Structure formats: C-alpha cells, structure tokens
Structure 1
Amino acid sequence: MTTSRQLLIGDAWVPAASGTEFSTFDPATGKQIGVCADAGTEDVNRAVAAARTAFDQGAWPKMLPAARARVLWRIADLLEERGEALARMETLDQGQTLSFATDVSVSFAVETFRYYAGWCTKIDGTVKSVSIPDMLTYTTREPIGVCALITPWNYPLLLASWKLAAALATGNTVILKPAEDTPLTTIELARICVEAGVPEGVVNCLSGGAETGRALVAHPGVDKVSFTGSTKVGKGIVAAAAGDLKRVSMELGGKAPSIITEEADFEAAIAGSLEGGLVNSGQTCVAYTRFFVPRSMSDAFAEHLAAAAATLQIGPGLEPNSVVGPLVSRTHLDRVTGYIEKGISEGARLVGGGSRLDGDLADGNFLQPTIFTDVTDEMTIAREEIFGPVLSVLPYDKLDEAVARANDTTYGLGASIWSKDLASAHRLASAVRSGMVWVNMSPLCDPAMPWGGMKQSGWGRELSGSGMNEYTEEKAVWISLRN
C-alpha cells in the first residue's frame, strides 16, 4: 500500500485542509510510487502564519550562531546516515541514475549543509569610515524573515538543500514547496530538519502544484521568494511579487553554448561535451546544448558525438549499468520529442538518436540521445531551452563570430570553452556573457562557488557567501560620539 505523505505546518504533519491529494510516478515504469497532500490556500495561510510566529516570537533568529550551526551539522549527519534510502527515493521519483543520486544529489546536499553550518559564526558586518567627525558607523546583516523556497523537479533534494541551508544559517524561517512531479525527498528533508532539532514553525513543507506556488508568492506574509525553474514562471513571480516588493532571487532557464576552438583536444571535447550535455538526461539548466565548432571540424565532431552517445546504456536509474535515465514525465517526453520534430522540419540534419524506446522500456519516458548538425542560429532547437538529451552542432568560420553567436540569446546561465591555449581560454571566458563558465570540463559545482546567471537566466546567486547574502538585509548603524 502506498503511504500518503502529509504537509508539515508548524509542529504537525497534517493532511491538506481540503483533503485533496495527488500521486507521483516512477518515470522509468509509469507506476505510482507515492501519494501526497495537495496544499491549498488555507494550508498556505497556516504555514505562513507558523513561519511568521517562529520568526517574530521564536528563538531561531536570535539563537547563538554556534548553536544554529550544530543544528545544520546534525541535518547533514542525518542526510548522510540515510543517504542510501534517499538516493533510491530520488531515483524512483525523478529518474536520475542511482550512482548520480548517491554521488551528486545526496552527497552535495550533505556538504551544502556542512558548508553553511560553518557560515553561521561568520555572518559579520563591517565598521565604516565616514567623513563626518565623531561618528561610529557600522553595518550588520540580519535575516530577511519568512522565505518561500520553490524548487524544480530536476534536482529535488539538491536544490532544496541549497536554498534551505543558506536560509536557515542566516536565521530565517521557511516554507519549502517542491515540484509536484518530484516531492518525495524534499518531504523527507523537512522530516530530517524536525528530527535534527529545528524549532517549531521554522521549517514548513507544502506539497502541491502551481496554485500552491502562486499562493505563496502572492502572500503578504512572505518576505522573500527563492525560485528555481523556467524563465516564463520566473517572470510571473516577479510580477506577483511587485505588489509588496518582496525580495526575489531566481535561477531560471539556460541555453548553454560550448565553444570548441581549433586547438582543442578533440577527444576530450567529445567526451566532456557528451557528459555536459547529457547530465541527468539533459534535464539540467546548464546542460551543454549548443556546440560551436570550426567548420572544418564540425561534421567529424557531430559524427563522433553521435557515435559516443550511441554506446551509452539507456535504462531505469536503478539498473547499475544505466547511464541515461528517463525523462521526468510523459508530458515532458512529448515536449522534447516535439522539439526534435521541429528541428528536422526546419532543416537541421539528424546525425544520431531521436527516437523513443520501445519493448521492455516502452512504459517509461525514455529517449535516445539526439545529435543534430548543420543547425543555424534562428532554428527553434538553437534558441529555446529543450531540457532534454538534444545536442546541436553549429559550424563557425571565425572565433569572434562564435562568441557573438554564443551570446546571441536571452539566456546567460552556463557556458563551456574547449581550448589547449590558456590565454585564449581566459579571453573567451571573459567574452562569453554567462554567470558561469567551465573550461575543458563538464559542469561541476561546489558549495564555495557562486551559482547563477545573467540576462533572463535569473537574479542573484546561490551557494558560497554570495548565496548566503541573498537571505540577509544589511543594516547601517550610526552612533554619535559627540558630547
């Protein structure tokens, strides 16, 4: 029998006030794996009230930094202790391979909480030197208040941890709202927070769909919204938050370019491009999707990329040999295959893949890694975020041209450079308009490095000290020393 998961509001796990629920499914088989409470407006009101009371009257914002750090460290320990079960749950709910869920999603969540546990005792202001005599002036950093943390379906546990660890380290109270496609590990994370000693009302968790998220964003009791998801939804959040000028930080869509130079290590570029393009079956905001390759090399690059992709094992994430797992839902699979059809109709040349899987895997949301070449900048597959295993090779004649075309996009989240010329790599990294650039490597991340984008890829940063500052307000204090 499938267990029904409830909402965490204040100190209690409760059903939705309406009694409604929704199901979540294994994308590898289409089978139901969970039932969750579907939060409505009444539940949002109660969760915000609980978070507001915990912030205004509770101990958490005023807790000694070292004590708050111990709670975050305990959360990390519990995540680590339950890592095997959490990784399996993430694979079943989202589809990512078990090795990826174990080595990246769970491990990075653990390290993120430990990283921000260390920041609790280092949230400092500064003494300022002003040009007015007999003044002592300094700044402090204070928590913003009640934060709505809205996460996407591609990295449920990982991205919830990024937001939650920084928000808690700085003394805020929160309402977690996971994507309805993949709520299970976020609900478990909230359960771990309670067990670790987070006080009543500091962490609340509401599972539900888009209406739940909209109610949170519009609620006057929410002081800050942190959102990861599509640019379209992000723009809606900005509009909704304008009425009361909520603080908003967002990591939105991407269309990451990869510039392969003539002096690049060809084999390394193929291997790294494939890994960077197909991470989590291409369902990654910084997945490498547009490969700008010298014209003399472009056909060979596309053919080698397709040949390498064809060797990758496609299958359920729980199968130990699987490298490419399913897409998150049948709806999303239909969306991605629609882009493949549009690429063909607009004149791109399909070099490899492009088909759904049949046979034993027909009930899952599986798609062959798809390689296009002879792609031009105006084609839909070169301009819109596909969020699936679809890679496009675009030939170029001059390097300056490649940079200009790489920047000719509304997005600016991630990019990659492939070159054995260190000076050229530095120049290109500077020239590309992107919040993050990886040189001769696949897209990695670390708690100490900021994560975020330019242009319509979002506002603000996550991770590092920059991410922590997104959850604080800076206060200026003036003290007269005059008699």
Structure 2
Amino acid sequence: MLLNTDEDLQVTRTPIDNSIYVERVLANSQNISQTLKLAKSAQLKWKKTTLNQRKKMCLAMVNAFIENSDEIALQLSYMMGRPIKYALSEVSGMAQRARHMINIAKDSLKTIKISSNKNITSYIKREPLGIVFVIAPWNYPYLTAINSIIPAIMAGNTVILKHSSQTPLCAEQFEKAFEQANFPKGVFQYLHLSHGNTEVIIKQNKVDYVSFTGSVAGGKAIENACNGHFMGLGLELGGKDPAYVCDDAHLKHAVETCIDGAFFNSGQSCCGIERIYVAEQIFDEFVEQATELVKQYKLGSPLDVDTTLGPMVNSKPADFIREQIHHAVIAGAKTHINPENFPLDKEGSAYLAPQILTHVDHTMDIMTKESFGPVVGIMKVRSDKQAIELMNDSEFGLTASVFTKDTDRAITIGEQLETGTFFMNRCDYLDPSLAWTGVKNSGRGCTLSTLGYGVLTRPKSFYLKTKI
C-alpha cells in the first residue's frame, strides 16, 4: 500500500515498556479515494463468483494466516500486552471461528422458497450489500474483526478494515493472508486512519455497512457519522457483565470460571466479568477461594513465559482503575489483594495488580461503570430476585452468567435478564453458532451465526407469474 510520507504519522507504543513499537503513515484523501474506488469495482466482480469459489479461497486465507502463528502471537504481546503463553490462542480461535462462518454460509445464504405451483413461483434471495467497513478494536484484534470480515466476503461483499492504532500490524497480517490466498485485488483492503478520516469515509456515503467494536462514545460518533445515509450499522460497545453464583453452585468451578472471566487478558475483554453476586450462604467461602486464586497470578512482561497477567494497554486505563478502586475504598469497600505483592504496579504504569473488592454496592462506580481491567467487585445477595434486580441495574447488557446445578432455575433467571447472551456455568465465551449481540448501551445488531449473515445482505423478493 502506497502512502504519502508527508502525511500524519501514527505511533504505536508497546505496553511492555512504553517504547515505540510501530510507526505507520496515516492514509490521506487520495489513498482513501483509491481504496473506495477499488473496493467498488472489485465488488461488482466478486459478487458474481460462486459460493464454492469463495469458500475455497477463504479457507486458503485461514490456512495462510495460521502458518504465520508464531509471528502473529509475538506481535500481539508487543502491541497490546497479552502474555505470550496465551497469545497463540487468539490465532487458533480466529481460525476456528472463521471456518465455522465459512462452513455455514451455504445454509445462511440459501434462497427461501415461498410457493411454487403451475401459475406462481415466489422466493427470496440474499444479495450482498456492497462495501463493508470494519472498524476493529485492540483488545481481541483478530477475533473481533473476523466476526464481520469472513461473512461479509463470503456473502459477496468487499471489505475495508480500519484497525486500532494500537494494533496496526493486525490489519497487515490479514492482508498478507488474503494475498497469499490469491484473492482478487480490492476484495479485502485496509487503511490506517485517523478518527477524523474514519468519519469522513462514512459521511461520504460510499460504504454500505459499518461494523464497529469499541467504546460507547466511539459508537455514538459512528452513529452520528451514519446519520441520514441509511446504511447498515452494527455496534458492539461497552459492558459491565455480571455473574451470579447461586447457593447450589459447584463452588470450585464457579470460582475458577468467574476469576478467569474477570482477569484473563488483564480484564480487557468485551464480555469479561466485572461484577459478581454470590448467595449469602456461600459468600465467605467464595471470596476466600477467589482471593487465594488471584494471589497466584504473576504480573510481568508478556514476553516472559511464566507471566499470567500482563500490563494493561497503557497507563491511562490502569490509572483510571486505580482511581475507581480508591473511590470505592473511601466509600467503604474492602480490598483483598495487597498491591505490594505485585511490585511492578506503580501509579503511572501500565502494570496493574489484580484486585478483589467486597463491601461494595451500586452507589459505587466499581459496580456500575465499565472498568475494563483486572478488578472485580463481589457482592452478597439474599435471593434470586435480588440478584436479577442487581444484574439488570446497568446501562449495559452484553452477557450475563449464572452458576447453578439446576437448569430450570438457570433458565428462569436467564429469561428475566436484560442481556444479549446468557450463560449457565460459563462466562467470557463466544460460540460462533450463536448470535453475538447486546442490548442497551452494549450495542445494536449482531455478528456470528446464521443471523450474522442476515445483516450483511439484503433480501430480494421474486414473484413470478408464469402463466397468464
């Protein structure tokens, strides 16, 4: 990709030591115009290819991608701080999710037959939208992007990817894999963009669908840019995902699952557990086991194979959480982890000790405002009814989890929760066969599953009167 060197420079600093890791020149108006023009012309040809051709090429892209797994994993550790021992899981997870979406394309895009008799034939076809603009985040840079990239291309669209300024190499790794799979030029492209030029692309009304994953503020900016253009829009935004541990839960499993859901990826997960409600009968034992488990985390450089908790993406969100914890303690919360046992944790550093808080309530930001880091509040509840009320007391609704041995009880609770995905005895997980969606300030639209294909295509109805 040719970019003019007199344009603005995008600098990516690694959270390992805040040194410069990547520098890229941002796209200018000429680059943007050329990219949009190529995407348009490529789509007119790509939509005429057969589904089998697209499947073969997309599978080849996935194979090319995973052949570069070690380099991709190392780049992830440098760009966003994930421990190297876990970084490869995103590569394999991306491949698994992509293959699932490729394999369900035939059924997801099949023609719907309405009627057929000697006089009338009617059916509904799915047609591609055109150009899909994917705006991806840094925290799971491959898993989030692939949710839209693969179904968009399998449906006959072309894709332009704008990745986070923290993870620019992810866009380049995608392009490398598409090139190795011999995709026609223009079917997949990326642009390194400023926020301003990202909005400019949308406002030009030359893309047909925008898929955005990011903050609520970012979602509002994208929605404003789309205003008046009638294009499709999918938003995956913030979360404050709750877990409820019932009195009959398998306690060891609940502790291990909730704590992993809260602290994996340094708590920087879209559907990470940010608040836990525990039945009063088992509350003390749950907190004791959870605390002992968290004390075992090793905070350190993501390049160290023994590290289980890497730095946050930079010092700003780490200091934000330090402030959240400070205000909660002033309001009466109790901390259970001594930060001094994690010597890398210093104010102004991206390295942040994990923390468990009790004696918390919903007057505290730590239980209501998104943290997106390695901290979780645990609150005692008296009943399922109280747990449901507290879980629903949020501006967000991405996922919610319940831990119980009683399936009927779980379903009864789940049906009352305001959430996009409900889990029983699990959390922080995406099943690509299910629709990934949120309610309230967690977003709109959906990705994954057969429904994910629906938003990336338009229905076209045929009514054929064959005899007059």
TM normalised by structure 1 equals 0.91
Matched-pair contact (CA < 8 Å) for 1:109–1:161: yes
Give a deviation string over 1:393-420, Cα, whole Å, max 9, x none. 1221221111011011111101111112
How many residues are matched?
A: 467
Residue 137 (structure 2) aligned to one of 139, 152, 163: 152
> How big is the shift at 1:361?
8.9
Q: Are 1:73 and 2:59 matched, yes or no?
A: yes
Change (3 A) 1:360 1:256: closer
SS at match of 1:153: coil
Match of 1:88 among 59, 74, 78: 74
Return the letter of the residue paired with 2:254: A
Gaps of 5+ in 2: none
Residue in structure 2 matched with residue 55 of structure 1 by the alignment:
43
My pick for the range that moved more, 378-387 or 24-33, is 24-33
Q: Structure 1 residue runs of 4+, over 6 Å off?
A: 360-363
1:72-471 equivalences under 5 Å are: 72-103=58-89, 105-122=90-107, 123-129=109-115, 134-353=119-338, 358=343, 365-471=350-456
CA distance in 2, matches of 1:322, 1:206: 33
Deviates more, 1:208-217 or 1:304-313: 208-217
Query: 2:150 corresponds to which letter in structure 1?
Result: A
Q: Which amino acid aligns with 1:185?
A: C
Answer with 229-238 or 244-253: which moved more: 229-238
SS at match of 1:402: helix
Match for 2:402: what amino acid?
I
**Residue 46 (structure 1) aligns with:** 34
Alignment deviations for residues 194-234 of structure 1 (CA, whole Å, 9 cap, x no partner): 22112111111011332232223222101110011112211
Q: State which drifts further: 172-181 or 327-336.
A: 327-336
Greater displacement, 244-253 / 327-336? 327-336
Correspondence for 2:25: 37
Distance 1:368 1:189, change over 3 A: same
Q: Deviations over 1:232-266 (max 9, x none)?
A: 21122222212111100111111111111111122
Structure 1 CA distance for aligned equivalents of residues 171 and 341 of structure 2: 30
* 1:7-38 deviation line (CA, Å, top 9, x unaligned): xxxxxx11247432222122122222211121
Would you say the 8 A contact 2:105–2:151 is kept in 1?
Answer: no
Provide closer, same or farther for how the CA distance between residues 152 and 187 of structure 1 changes in structure 2, counting only shifts above 3 A. same
- Equivalent residue of 2:437, what SS? coil
SS in 2 for 1:445: coil
Q: How far apart in 1 are the matches of 2:80 and 2:341?
A: 18
Shift of 1:168: 0.7
More displaced 10-residue stretch of structure 1: 201-210 or 72-81? 201-210
Q: Is the alpha carbon distance of 1:245 and 1:17 closer, same or farther for their aligned partners in structure 2, counting shifts above 3 Å?
A: farther
**1:185/1:355 Cα in 2 relative to 1: closer, same or farther (>3 Å)?**
farther
The CA deviation at 1:356 is 10
Aligned-residue identity in percent: 27
Instruction: Give the TM-score, by structure 2 length.
Output: 0.94
In structure 2, C-alpha distance between the alignment counterparts of 1:230 and 1:17, rounded to whole Å? 30
Does the Cα contact within 8 Å between 2:94 and 2:143 map onto a contact in 1? yes
The partner residue of 2:2 within 9, 14, 33 is 14
Task: Tell me the SS of whatever aligns to 1:285.
Answer: coil
Retained in 1: the 8 A contact 2:316–2:348? no
- Note the C-alpha offset of 1:450: 2.1
> In 2, Cα distance between the equivalents of 1:445 and 1:200?
31
* Matched residue, 1:7: none
Structure 1 stretch 333-342 or stretch 62-71: which is displaced more? Answer: 333-342
**Structure 1 vs Structure 2 CA RMSD:** 2.2
Q: More deviation in 424-433 or 468-477?
A: 424-433
1:285-307 per-position Cα deviation (integer Å, ceiling 9, x unaligned) = 11111111123433443333222
Offset from partner CA, 1:327-386 (integer Å, 9 cap, x none): 011222222222222222333222225579545999961111111111111211111111
Which residue is 1:4 aligned to? none
- Checking the alignment, whether the CA contact within 8 Å between 1:69 and 1:121 is kept in structure 2 is no
1:186 to partner: Cα distance? 2.1
Deviates more, 1:379-388 or 1:448-457: 448-457
